[in-house]
Amino acid sequence: MAYCLFCTQGHMTKKEFREECSSGKWLPILVMRTEEKIIVPIFDTALMAGQFVKRNLPQNWLCGVVDLQVKDAQLMDDRGWEAIKFTFPRKLKDVVDFDVEILEFELNHKLRIDI
């Protein structure tokens, strides 16, 4: 199984997130934005994804992990986003700009908030 991160960038509380995102079946997916492309960090384990968050994102950002389904990966690919699998939770906060992109999901996903 593969995991990606969702993040509110500090704009939503946990309650607001549950009410708006979970019920609406959309998530603010964490991406790394460059001038040429949008990159989605992908992880083999939820633990590694959590370590990535702790190394790279501000503590006031509500973040979590979502299991990535094949259909979701196809939606990302259709949008031209590049998925990069991380085998180590590298520190990148001084090298790239983190942002979010909205991804609508058709299926219910297992979400882990506050990793």
Nearest Cα to Cα of residue 110 among 72, 64, 66? 66
- pLDDT, position 35: 85
- pLDDT, position 42: 96
Distance between CA atoms of residues 12 and 2, nearest Å? 25
Q: Quickly state the pLDDT bin for 43 (edges 50, 70, 90).
A: very high
The mean pLDDT of 103-109, rounded to a whole number, is 71
Check: CB of residue 103 under 8 Å from CB of residue 72. yes
Domain limits at 54? 2-113
Distance between CA atoms of residues 5 and 32, nearest Å? 11
Our measurement of the distance from residue 32's CA atom to the centroid of its chain's CA atoms, rounded to an integer in Å, reads: 10
Amino acid making up residue 76: M
For the chain, the domain total comes to 1
| pLDDT tens sequence across 49-70 | 999 999 999 988 889 898 888 8
